[in-house]
Structure 1
Amino acid sequence: MSGTSGRLLYFMGPSGAGKDSLLDWLRQHLPAELPVQWARRTISRPAASGGEAHESTTPDGHAALRAAGAFALHWEANGLAYGVRHSELAPLDQGRWLLVNGSRAYLPKALVRYPALVAVHITASPEVLRQRLQARGRESSDEVEQRVQRALRFLAPPGTAGIEVRNDTSLDAAGQQLLQALERLPGWPG
């Protein structure tokens, strides 16, 4: 790890892009000896078996933590509150690379705090997003279309260091694309 400086990799993407599936794939395929870590999020929802390992809070508990300054990063999305505690980002100061499951809407604020972060945008074509969202059956056709249009309008702030991964075909193909893009980053500890 000597000579390696810490870097924040900030993963984000629209609903239906398969971000969580792709992050699970990455967890399974990153070499264990790499000096990279995953930041655990605090989320205002119960811990679910088989889902993301997170710290669970109630909405009121989350608001109290936020008011007390417990979070280095925090945002709301899809009716839930998310936060990343300061202690979860401490590995950056130790020269480690840190992976955070973030939010597109919060990216500008995250960049203010961590201007050198690398934004990793996981997306898919409008047709694939639409198809996946409809298959979930959680939203009306109008709500699905609003999500697809919001995904199409997303632009990272100018000057943001970034990677875009299209998850349109197989999870393995997108995972390999992501892993190769990470390996090309300057200073990647692999």
Structure 2
Amino acid sequence: MTHRLIYVVGPSGAGKDSVLHRLSEAWSGMPPAHWARRTITRAAQAGGEANECVDRPLFERLLQAGAFAMHWAANGHAYGIRRLELAPLASGHCVFVNGSRAHLPQLLGQWPEATVVEISAPADVLLQRLRARNRESVQAISDRLARSTQFELPDGAIRIVNDGPLNEAVDMLLAALQLRLGEHAAWAR
């Protein structure tokens, strides 16, 4: 029943962290859920997701020790999801992972029934949001935007466009997940 693994992808600036945070607040009445914390080789950033920040040598030691259930590299950083973060799946919980589009083939090879969610926004909105972050050079932003169109989603992926009020994107995602999870008899309440 890997449909309970909810793997969220989308371009930088689409608002994945904001949507996931607000979704966690609106999750009442849904199946039990866990929002997986990522391990990342970058410094913590104010207002960003709650993550575990490590340096590259420690990340490599964790990787060699088999600590990660999944890992990938993107935008000059290494990302991993520790095995413990997926443990709630065994107890029937949904587990949300803020993932990488480039890692989708590996993810679906390991968890073929995972629920894939894409959160996106039009290019002009992405550009405006990335500039407002003031974290990267103009070239780095341009590179991120170029990558945003270079991948294909699997059939059945949930697609959310986050270009209006945040609550609208959250409501659309919540409704889509209720429908998806309701398709599985074990989730009926």
The code of the aligned residue for 1:15 comes to S
Say which SS state the counterpart of residue 168 (structure 1) adopts: coil
Residues 122 and 164, structure 1, Cα contact 8 Å, conserved in 2: yes
Corresponding residue for residue 178 of structure 1: 173
Residues of 1 paired with 2:53 and 2:137: CA distance? 29
Residues 38 and 80, structure 2, Cα contact 8 Å, conserved in 1: yes
Structure 1, unaligned runs of 5 or more = none
Give the number of equivalent residue pairs. 185
Identity of aligned residues (%): 46
Residues 72 and 80, structure 2, Cα contact 8 Å, conserved in 1: yes
Residues 17 and 129, structure 1, Cα contact 8 Å, conserved in 2: yes
The structure with the greater share of residues assigned to helix is 2
Provide the TM-score with structure 2 as the length reference.
Answer: 0.86
Q: Name whichever of 97-106 and 34-43 sits farther off.
A: 34-43
C-alpha RMSD of matched pairs (Å): 2.3
Say which SS state the counterpart of residue 152 (structure 1) adopts: coil
Distance 1:137 1:53, change over 3 A: closer
Structure 2, unaligned runs of 5 or more = none
Q: Name whichever of 65-74 and 90-99 sits farther off.
A: 90-99
Residues 10 and 119, structure 2, Cα contact 8 Å, conserved in 1: yes
2:57 maps to 1:60: yes
Distance 1:100 1:131, change over 3 A: same
Distance 1:6 1:182, change over 3 A: closer
Q: What displacement does 1:26 show?
A: 0.8
Q: What displacement does 1:114 show?
A: 0.8
Q: What displacement does 1:124 show?
A: 0.4
Q: Name whichever of 62-71 and 146-155 sits farther off.
A: 146-155
Match of 2:83 among 64, 81, 86: 86
Residues of 2 paired with 1:116 and 1:5: CA distance? 5
Q: What displacement does 1:189 show?
A: 5.9
Corresponding residue for residue 27 of structure 1: 24
Q: What displacement does 1:29 show?
A: 1.1
Say which SS state the counterpart of residue 53 (structure 1) adopts: coil
Residues of 2 paired with 1:135 and 1:41: CA distance? 23
Match of 2:162 among 160, 167, 180: 167
Q: What displacement does 1:27 show?
A: 1.4
Distance 1:124 1:55, change over 3 A: same
Match of 1:99 among 96, 99, 104: 96
Provide the TM-score with structure 1 as the length reference.
Answer: 0.85
Say which SS state the counterpart of residue 58 (structure 2) adopts: helix
